[in-house]
C-alpha cells in the first residue's frame, strides 16, 4: 500500500506469549511466524502484480515446529528476492530434527539474535554438540534455553567424557551468553564439566529437574557465576536430604545479586524452610520467590510472609496450598487414605494472608497459590 511504500523497519517483537515463556503455547507468535514467512515467500514471487514495499526489515520473534518448518526455511532463504527481510530477535524450535534446526540457524541474520530456545527436540548430547558451533555466529546471543532435549551426561560411558568436554568448549565460545537453561537434563555430578569454559559469569541459570548432587551446588557456590546470578531455578530437587546445606551456602553467595528464586516441588518441609529463611532474608534485592509444590504448613507460611515483609523489592510469592488445609479421606477403591482439600479452611487461610499484607501496608506484594497465574520474570527485563 501507499503507507507501507516508505516503511523500512516494522518491529513486531514482544508479542504476547513470546518465546521467552516457559512452555511452547504462544499461539500469537506461532501464527505471526507463519504469516510473515508466507508474506516473504509471496513477495519473492516475481509473477506477482501487487506492488510491494521495497527493502522492509521485519523485526520479529520466530517459533517453528514440524508443520511450519518448510515455509519458514523458504522465507529465510529467499534473501534479496523478497522485499520483506525477516530479522529474528528470539528463535524457538520445538520437536524438529538437528538438521532442520541447523538449517534455520544458518539462515538467520547473525547480527540480531539475542535468544535461542530449543525445547522438546530430544537431540541428546550428540545433537547438542552438532548445534552449538552454529550459535557462535550470533555475537549478541545472550540467552540459550535447552529444556527437555534428552541431554544426559549422568549415564555416559567413561569414554564419552570427550563429548562433555566438547559441549563445554562450545559453550565457552559464546562470549555474550548470560542466561542458560538446561531444564530436565541429567547432569548429576557434571555441572562443573559443563560450565567450566564459560569466560564470563552467567546472570540467569535454570537447572530444574537436573538430578543435581551436593558437589554440583558446591561448585556453583565457588564459581564466578554465584555473585552475578540474578535468577536461579533449582526446582524439582530433593532438599529434604543432603542438598539443603549446599543450597543455603549457594544462596549466601548469591544474596547480593539474586532477584528471582524458584524452588518448586523440592520436598521442603517446615524444618527445611526454617534453615533457609535467615539466608533468604539476606537476599535484599529479591523480587520473585516460587515455593509451590512443597509440603509447608500454614504456620510456616505465615512466618515466611511476616519475615519477608522486610524485603522492600519483593513483588511476587507463589506459595503451596498449606498441608494442614487437606483432610485425609479413604479411597473408594482401596484402604489407603488420600488427601482432599478443605475449601472452607483454605479460604480462611487466604484471608489471613491477605490481612497480614493489608495490616503491613504491603498491598503491592502479591501472594498467590496459582503457579500459572504469573509468569516468571524474563531475564531481559530483570
Q: Where are the domains of the chain?
A: 1-113, 239-382
pTM for the predicted model, two decimal places = 0.91
Mean pLDDT of 278-299: 98
The larger pLDDT score, comparing residue 297 to residue 5, is at 297
Per-residue confidence (pLDDT) for residue 56, from 0 to 100:
82
Q: Cell numbers 548430547 correspond to what residue?
A: 125
pLDDT at residue 79 above 70?
no
Longest dimension (CA), the chain: 75
Quick one: angle between helices 124-131 and 98-107, nearest 10?
A: 20
Across the beta sheet with 288-290, what order do the strands follow? 9-11, 56-64, 84-94, 115-119, 143-145, 179-181, 204-206, 231-233, 260-262, 288-290, 316-318, 366-368
Per-residue confidence (pLDDT) for residue 49, from 0 to 100:
43
Per-residue confidence (pLDDT) for residue 242, from 0 to 100:
93
DSSP 321: P
Domain 239-382 -> CATH class: alpha beta
Q: How far apart are CA 78 and CA 253, in angstroms?
A: 50
Per-residue confidence (pLDDT) for residue 20, from 0 to 100:
47
Give 196-238 pLDDT, tens digit per residue.
999 999 999 999 999 999 999 999 999 999 999 999 999 999 9
The CA-atom distances, in angstroms, between 113 and each of 13, 62, 259, 379 are 12, 10, 25, 15
Q: How confident is the model at residue 336 (pLDDT cuts 50, 70, 90)?
A: low
Strands 84-94 and 56-64: parallel
Q: How far apart are CA 77 and CA 13, in angstroms?
A: 21
Q: How confident is the model at residue 65 (pLDDT cuts 50, 70, 90)?
A: very high
Per-residue confidence (pLDDT) for residue 335, from 0 to 100:
47
Q: How confident is the model at residue 17 (pLDDT cuts 50, 70, 90)?
A: low
Per-residue confidence (pLDDT) for residue 4, from 0 to 100:
54
Per-residue confidence (pLDDT) for residue 39, from 0 to 100:
80
What proportion of the chain, given as a percentage, has pLDDT over 70? 88
Mean pLDDT of 268-296: 97
Mean pLDDT of 120-140: 96
Q: How confident is the model at residue 85 (pLDDT cuts 50, 70, 90)?
A: confident
Give 19-52 pLDDT, tens digit per residue.
444 444 444 677 788 887 888 887 665 444 444 5
Read out DSSP for 334-380? SS-EEEEE-HHHHHHHHHHHHHHHHHHT-TTSEEES-TTSSPPPPGG
Q: For residue 251, give the nearest of 272, 278, 213, 274 by alpha carbon.
A: 278
CB 112 within 8 A of CB 89: yes
Q: How far apart are CA 60 and CA 81, in angstroms?
A: 19
Mean of the per-residue pLDDT values of the chain: 89
Give 314-332 pLDDT, tens digit per residue.
999 999 999 999 998 765 5
Amino acid at each position: 500500500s501507499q503507507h507501507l511504500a516508505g516503511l523500512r523497519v516494522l518491529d513486531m517483537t514482544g508479542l504476547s506469549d513470546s518465546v521467552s515463556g516457559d512452555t511452547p503455547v504462544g499461539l500469537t507468535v506461532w501464527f505471526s511466524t507463519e504469516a510473515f514467512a508466507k508474506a516473504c515467500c509471496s513477495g519473492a514471487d516475481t509473477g506477482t502484480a501487487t506492488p510491494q514495499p521495497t527493502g522492509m526489515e521485519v523485526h520479529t520473534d520466530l517459533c517453528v515446529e514440524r508443520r511450519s518448518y518448510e515455509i519458514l526455511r523458504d522465507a529465510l532463504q529467499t534473501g534479496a528476492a523478497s522485499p520483506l527481510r525477516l530479522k529474528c530477535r528470539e528463535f524457538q524450535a520445538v520437536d524438529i530434527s538437528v538438521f532442520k534446526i541447523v538449517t534455520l540457524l544458518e539462515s538467520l541474520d547473525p547480527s540480531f539474535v539475542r535468544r535461542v530456545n530449543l525445547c522438546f527436540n530430544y537431540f541428546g548430547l550428540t545433537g547438542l554438540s552438532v548445534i552449538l558451533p552454529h550459535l557462535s555466529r550470533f555475537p549478541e546471543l545472550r540467552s540459550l534455553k535447552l529444556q527437555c532435549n534428552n541431554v544426559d551426561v549422568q549415564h555416559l560411558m567413561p569414554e564419552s567424557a570427550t563429548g562433555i568436554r566438547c559441549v563445554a568448549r562450545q559453550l565457552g565460545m559464546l562470549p555474550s551468553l548470560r542466561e542458560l537453561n538446561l531444564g530436565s537434563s541429567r547432569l548429576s555430578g557434571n555441572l562443573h564439566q559443563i560450565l567450566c569454559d564459560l569466560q564470563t559469569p552467567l546472570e540467569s541459570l535454570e537447572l530444574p529437574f537436573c538430578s543435581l548432587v551436593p558437589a554440583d551446588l558446591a561448585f556453583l557456590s565457588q564459581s564466578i557465576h554465584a555473585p552475578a546470578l540474578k535468577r536461579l531455578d533449582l526446582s524439582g530437587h530433593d532438599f529434604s536430604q543432603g542438598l539443603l546445606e549446599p543450597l543455603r551456602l549457594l544462596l549466601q553467595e548469591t544474596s547480593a545479586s539474586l532477584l528471582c528464586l524458584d524452588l518448586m516441588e523440592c520436598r521442603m518441609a517446615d524444618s527445611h524452610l526454617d534453615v533457609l529463611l535467615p539466608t533468604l532474608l539476606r537476599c535484599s534485592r529479591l523480587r520473585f520467590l516460587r515455593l509451590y509444590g512443597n509440603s509447608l504448613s500454614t504456620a510456616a507460611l505465615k512466618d515466611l510472609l511476616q519475615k519477608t515483609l522486610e524485603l522492600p523489592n519483593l513483588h511476587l510469592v507463589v506459595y503451596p496450598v498449606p498441608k494442614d488445609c487437606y483432610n485425609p479421606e479413604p479411597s473408594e477403591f482401596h484402604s489407603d487414605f488420600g488427601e482432599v482439600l478443605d475449601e472452607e479452611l483454605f479460604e480462611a487461610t487466604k484471608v489471613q494472608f491477605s490481612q497480614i499484607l493489608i495490616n503491613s501496608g504491603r498491598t503491592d506484594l502479591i501472594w498467590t497459590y496459582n503457579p500459572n497465574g504469573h509468569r516468571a520474570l524474563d531475564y531481559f527485563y530483570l
